[in-house]
Structure formats: structure tokens, C-alpha cells
A and B are shown apart, each in its own frame.
Chain A
Amino acid sequence: MNQAYNPQSFQYDIAQNPGARPARDVAVSFKGLSKTYKMDRVEVPALKGVSGSIAKAATTFITGPSGSGKSTLLNLLGLLDRPTDGEMEILGEDVTKLTDKQAADFRAQHIGFVFQSFNLIPVLSLRENVEFPLLNRKMSWASRKTRALEYLEAVGLGDFVDRRPGEISGGQRQRVAIARALVSEPTLLIADEPTANLDTKTSREIVALMDRIKVELNTSVVICTHDTDLITPGSAIINIVDGQTAGEY
């Protein structure tokens, strides 16, 4: 797994990943996804007709060199952005035509996010940060609190619930971010370079944590990374180069 990563000629030995692409139910499918940004008057294509799928309750890595379009694809999968063209279904629902409100509600119900720089709300305690997404749910304060504590326990931070994000380490913050992403028990967990700001050991722990929780919660995990060392056996891989699918394993 510790192969050298060459963004120009990305090759991933399928033999090292024997569990890849098993026949599973599809959580997300997308076909011909394109995204073009307008910068001043110049149109910059970020994605050029990308197609693929994300299996249910599996981990899918989106890999590729910097600027290849993997984050753009992730943003489209997470309904944070709209494709210029193409089709996409999440859990069988056409999500390309959702209104802004519908997209927000869909994210609240089905999608969890883990960001590269954690993006915790600094003025809230760890418990309150984890509890935060549950404000979108009709839950009592007590239920929200209980569930937030359960998830903090699950990521090993049960003893730090009243601390603020600024009072814990980067690895711990990312654990909190994972707890926050999972507390609403989403169908799809999207993680954009979740280990970019962490050391190697902590990075592996974070990926292992997501892998474990994926199994427990039956959640599809999509991880965008350029660090192929993180790819775990049995995971699916979508490789993006120059805005196009360079390989799907």
C-alpha cells in the first residue's frame, strides 16, 4: 500500500485491493457530470462528463492530482454545488433539479461532511458542535444531548465533551468533526481531504475510525484524497485526472 504516488501516471494495482468493486447496491450514481466555472469571462471546465457510482455501505476513495477535479466532484456529490450538465441520483432520487431549500433539506437528512480543516464552530463546546446538526431534526434537547454524547464516546472523546475546539489537538478535532458528521446518521458521508492536516499515525486512525463507523451505521463513505497510502483494502476508487474519470476500481 505504500506505493509512490505519481499524479501524472496514476496506477493502482487492483491486485492489492482484492475486495474492490464487489457487486453492491448503489447509493449514488452519476453520469456525464460536468462542471464549468466562469472566471471573469473565461470558462474553466473542472469536470468533463464524469460518470460512476458509489456503493451503499462501502468506502469509496476519490483520488487524483491537485486540480484534477476531485473536490469539484465531491461538492457535486454533496449537493454543495450544481453540475453544469449531467445526471446524478442519490438513493434513487434525481438530485440535480432540487431547489436550494430541497438540497439543504436533503443534505440535512442524508449527507454528512468531514472537512479538511475540521470546520468546527469555535464558540461551541465539543458536545454542542456534535449536537449542532440535530437542530435540523425534531428532537428534544435531552435527546440531542444524549446522542451527541454517544457519538463523542464512539470517537473516543467522551472525556472532553465540555472543551472548546481550540482546546484539543488536530486529530481530536477531526474526530469531533466525524462525530458531528455521523450524529444525524447520514446515508452518505463525504470527507474532503480529512487527513491533510494530520500526521500519518493520526491519519490512519481517522480513516480506520470512519471505516469502523461505516460498518456500524451502514453508511457510504466517500473520501477525497491524494494520499493513496490511506486507501484501505476492499475500498472502491474513482481516479480523476484532468476533470475526467481516469479509472474506477
Chain B
Amino acid sequence: MIWKIALRNIFKNARRSVTTALAIGIGGLAALLFGGFVTSIWYGVQTSMIQEQGNLQVYRNGYLEFGAANPDAYTIKDWDKVAALLAADPMLAENIAVITPRIDLAGVAGNAETGNSKTFIGTGIVPAEIDAMRGWDGWNIGQVAPVTGLAAGGQESVIVGLGMARLMGMCEALSVPNCQDAPVDASTLVVEEQDFTSLVGTEAGLADQGNGTEKPQLNVMAATSAGVPNIARVGIESAQAQAVRAIDNSFIMMHFEQARGLLYGDSQEATALMLQVADPAQVDAVKARVDAVMTEAGLDLSVYHFTEVDPTFDRIFGMFTFMFIVVSIVLSIVIVFTIVNTISMTIVERVKEIGTIRALGFRKGFVRALFLTESTMIGLIGALIALGSAILLSNVINAAGLQWTPPSNATPLTVQLMVLDNPTFAIGVVGTLVALSFLASVWPTFKAARLNIVESLQRA
């Protein structure tokens, strides 16, 4: 009977009920869409980063804390044996899709044609393996990154940041759109090709790499592990924008062997091993197993989740989560006030009915239940409006193919509002709306139940 009275009163005051339900619905819609966007960030940005870095990374102990000051002291020696050791473990072999080494390096790059030179931050990778990693889509969200473009070139080919290309005066040579070469002062231009060979020590043989290519060329110089400058001539395959301007202005991606040759010569050293786990649900188990295998082997290495190495994802997700919380709080306040107002008005109109019900021998709890049921039902209707409209609108927006570029990316991601992809969240929003409706009416209904019966009956 309570449900019947509540439902009929909702329909009796249709305009007010609809207004309240719509307020709840629109608030819920905003929360669901924004939540769907945050969910897509969770999946999309993680996928992006896993495609670049793998889910797990192995470093020499102490690298993350002290490696920046002295990277050569914290390299993984015999990385190939470590990779083989991990690949030999049945559990890891079953779960790890890619194990690939990476070398982080820094040095000076110069363009002999223009005389421009500047410091660079480089990474040495195995292009075919990175390209394989970029095809990872562990959560099946349909997000695949383009290949590096480095595999097609020879060992001497590199990819530079767009800013780097501009600063090196290579926009035109690389046919980079919307890129203007830095102006060159002809009077100061060194016509002769810069010769770094005098700087090269024992690894002098490396200096002639890259000769003979028709691609725009750069000379890259880095210090070997022995502290001796080493140089290589590389051909630029293409220029690609990087996410952060400072990195874009100094980025060079090269073949792993090229980087290894520059820094370590024949020594099988790497900065890190990147492990890509096929099933993201298995990451923790794989991490534990990698840790166990390396400990058993007595290796001075540690394995980290990619978010431990690079806090970008946590920061991006944290920022949007915080925004979601703030928006949700604002929406909740609006919803609560709307419901309090609606239920208070309903109570004022039905004071006599409350008096009658109490006179008929019903306890205060019955009166509370009556109005709480009504507000909960309005909340449920509003929540269903929110869910239905969120599903509809998210499909429209997803179909529109809108794009956005997260701070961690250089290339945009397609906006996918994942409203139903996280059922716990969707149910949570619906539940929260209903709970808010219930809680918001507690105070007015308690007031209603406490009304003096005689005074209530005397109300016109």
C-alpha cells in the first residue's frame, strides 16, 4: 500500500515529480558521462603507456633512485641472458607477450648542413618489438598505436621530435608540415663538415656509421661507459611530435644496437627490460613471478609496474578522478536541495493526511516510510532517466569520433565514453542517486513524522 500511495502521489504531482526526476536525471547523466570519460582515460591512457613501455619494467636495483646521476653504474648487464631467463619460465612464457630492452641516453646532436647543434635525450629500442607492443589491446578497447616507422630503415636510422627537427633546421628536408626551420645566420655558418673524430677514443670505428644514406643526417655524440665521447652519424627517418615540448625539442629514437654501440660497444647492457603482459589481469601475478625468478637467480634487479616508474598515468587519472569528485559533489548538492525542496513541499501539502494517518493508529515510522518511499522512487526514476540518456548520448558521442590528446600523448585518442564498460561504476551512480534521494528526504520526513497530530488535522 505504501508503494501504491507513493507512486500515485508521484503521478498526482506529475509536474513536480518530473522536474525533480529530471534534475536527478541530468545530474546523474553528467556524472555517468564524465565517469564514462574517466573510465575511458583509465583504459585509454594505460593502454597508450603499456603500448610504449610495457606493463612491467626491470631495472638494476637503485636505478630509479640514483640512476639519473650515473646511468652507466645502474645498467642491466647481460640483458639478453636476463631476457632468456625470464622467457624460459613456463608461467612467464605463457603470459608475457613481449620482452624488449631499452637504453636511455643523452648527448649532443649536430646538423653539419646548418651548423645547428643541441643536447638530445634519446632512447634506443628494438623497433620490431616496440611495433609489436604498440599493437597491444589488452582491454579490447580498439585502440592501436601506429608503428614507430623505425623498422623500415637501417640500423642507422632514427626518429626525431618535431621540435628537434625544427631546431636542427630539418623541417624542409624532412618535409614536415607546419614546421619552420630555425633561421640560419649565413655569416656564422661553418661550411666544413664538423669533425668529431678527434674526440672519439677507443670506439672510433663507430664514427662512420650512417654514411652513404640519402636521408637528412645528424651527428650524435654521447659519452661511452668509459667516459669517452663517441659519435655516430644517423639518418633521420621521420620527425614525430612528442607529448612534452621540452622532450619534443630534444628527442631522438634510435635502434637499440645503435644506442648500445654508442654507449657500451660490444657489452650487452641495457637501461631497462620492458615486459608486456598479454592479459592485464595477470600483471600482478607476472610481476611476482618475475621477482621470484630474478631473486632465485641472484640478480641485482627489480621489477616495477610501469606506474611506479612513470607517475604520469596516476597523475592524469588522479586529476580527472579529483575533477569527477568535485563535479559529483556539486551535482549531489543540487540534487539534495531539489529533493529536500520537493519532499518538503509534498509534506506541507499533505500535513492533514499525515495527521489522519497518525490518528488512524500508524506510528511515526509509517509516515517516514511513506515519504521516504516516495523520494526513493523519484530518485529511482531519475536514476533510470540518467542511465538511459547516458547510454543513448554516449553512443552518439562515441559515434561522432571526437578526439582528445591526453598530457601523456603526442597523438590524440578517440573519445570513448565508457558508460557501461564499467558496470560497477554505472550501478554505483544509479545506487548513489537513489541513496541520495533517500538520504535527502530523511530530515523532512522526520520532521513530518514529528508533527503534532491535532495541529495537523486542523490544517486546511
Q: Hey, which chain A residues are within 8 Å of B358, CB to CB?
A: 80, 104
Question: Chain A's nearest CB lies how many Å from the CB of B168?
Answer: 79
Contact residue among A100, A101, A113 (Cβ-Cβ distance under 8 Å from B359): A113
Interface string of A105-147 (1 = CB under 8 A from B): 1111101010100010111100010011101100000000000
Contact (A81, B12) CB under 8 Å given A104-B363, A105-B361, A111-B361: no
Interchain CB contact under 8 A, B5 and A108: no
Q: How many residues of B contact A (CB 8 A)?
A: 21
Which partner residue on chain B sits nearest A110 by CB separation? B361
Chain A residues 32-88 with CB under 8 Å of chain B are 75, 78, 80-81
Which partner residue on chain A sits nearest B457 by CB separation? A115
Chain B residues 415-460 with CB under 8 Å of chain A are 453-454, 457
- Cβ-based interface call for B364 (8 A): yes
Interchain CB contact under 8 A, B361 and A121: no
- Name the residue in A106, A135, A180 with the highest tally of chain B Cβ atoms < 10 Å from its Cβ: A135
Contact residues of A: prevailing secondary structure: helix
Interchain CB contact under 8 A, A107 and B360: yes
- Cβ-based interface call for B9 (8 A): yes
Contact (A108, B362) CB under 8 Å given A75-B454, A115-B457, A119-B457: yes
Give the docked Cα–Cα distance between A78 and B360 (Å): 10
Q: Hey, which chain B residues are within 8 Å of A184, CB to CB?
A: 361
Interchain CB contact under 8 A, A124 and B8: yes
Q: Hey, which chain B residues are within 8 Å of A119, CB to CB?
A: 352-353, 355-356, 457
- Cβ-based interface call for B245 (8 A): no
Question: Chain B's nearest CB lies how many Å from the CB of A90?
Answer: 13
Interchain CB contact under 8 A, B1 and A132: yes
Looking at chain A, what size class is its interface with the partner chain?
A: 20 to 34
Which partner residue on chain B sits nearest A76 by CB separation? B454
Interface string of B346-368 (1 = CB under 8 A from A): 00000011011111111110000
Give the docked Cα–Cα distance between A75 and B453 (Å): 9
- Cβ-based interface call for B4 (8 A): yes
Interchain CB contact under 8 A, A121 and B453: no
Give the docked Cα–Cα distance between A133 and B1 (Å): 11
Contact residue among A75, A101, A135 (Cβ-Cβ distance under 8 Å from B1): A135
Interface string of B1-34 (1 = CB under 8 A from A): 1001100110010000000000000000000000
Q: Hey, which chain B residues are within 8 Å of A128, CB to CB?
A: 1, 4
Interchain CB contact under 8 A, A133 and B454: no
Q: Hey, which chain A residues are within 8 Å of B454, CB to CB?
A: 75, 80-81
Which partner residue on chain A sits nearest B2 by CB separation? A135
Q: Hey, which chain A residues are within 8 Å of B359, CB to CB?
A: 78, 80, 107, 113, 115
Give the docked Cα–Cα distance between A100 and B362 (Å): 11
Which partner residue on chain B sits nearest A113 by CB separation? B359
Question: Chain A's nearest CB lies how many Å from the CB of B10?
Answer: 10
Contact (A123, B360) CB under 8 Å given A80-B454, A81-B453: no
Give the docked Cα–Cα distance between A139 and B140 (Å): 56
Contact residue among A109, A122, A136 (Cβ-Cβ distance under 8 Å from B12): A122
Q: Hey, which chain B residues are within 8 Å of A121, CB to CB?
A: 5, 353, 356-357
Question: Chain B's nearest CB lies how many Å from the CB of A190?
Answer: 9
Question: Chain A's nearest CB lies how many Å from the CB of B13?
Answer: 10
Contact (A108, B360) CB under 8 Å given A124-B5, A128-B1: yes
Question: Chain A's nearest CB lies how many Å from the CB of B360?
Answer: 5
Contact (A113, B360) CB under 8 Å given A81-B453, A119-B353: yes
Chain B residues 199-222 with CB under 8 Å of chain A are none
Contact (A80, B457) CB under 8 Å given A108-B361, A119-B353: yes
Would you mind naming 8 contact pairs between A and B with Cβ atoms under 8 Å apart? A80-B358, A100-B364, A105-B363, A107-B359, A115-B457, A119-B352, A119-B355, A136-B362
Q: Which 9 A-B pairs have the closest CB atoms?
A: A108-B361, A123-B8, A107-B361, A119-B356, A80-B453, A104-B363, A133-B360, A81-B454, A113-B359
Q: Please give 12 more A-B residue pairs, beta carbons under 8 A apart, in addition to A104-B362, A111-B361, A135-B1.
A: A81-B453, A104-B361, A107-B360, A115-B359, A123-B4, A123-B5, A123-B8, A128-B1, A131-B1, A135-B362, A136-B361, A180-B360
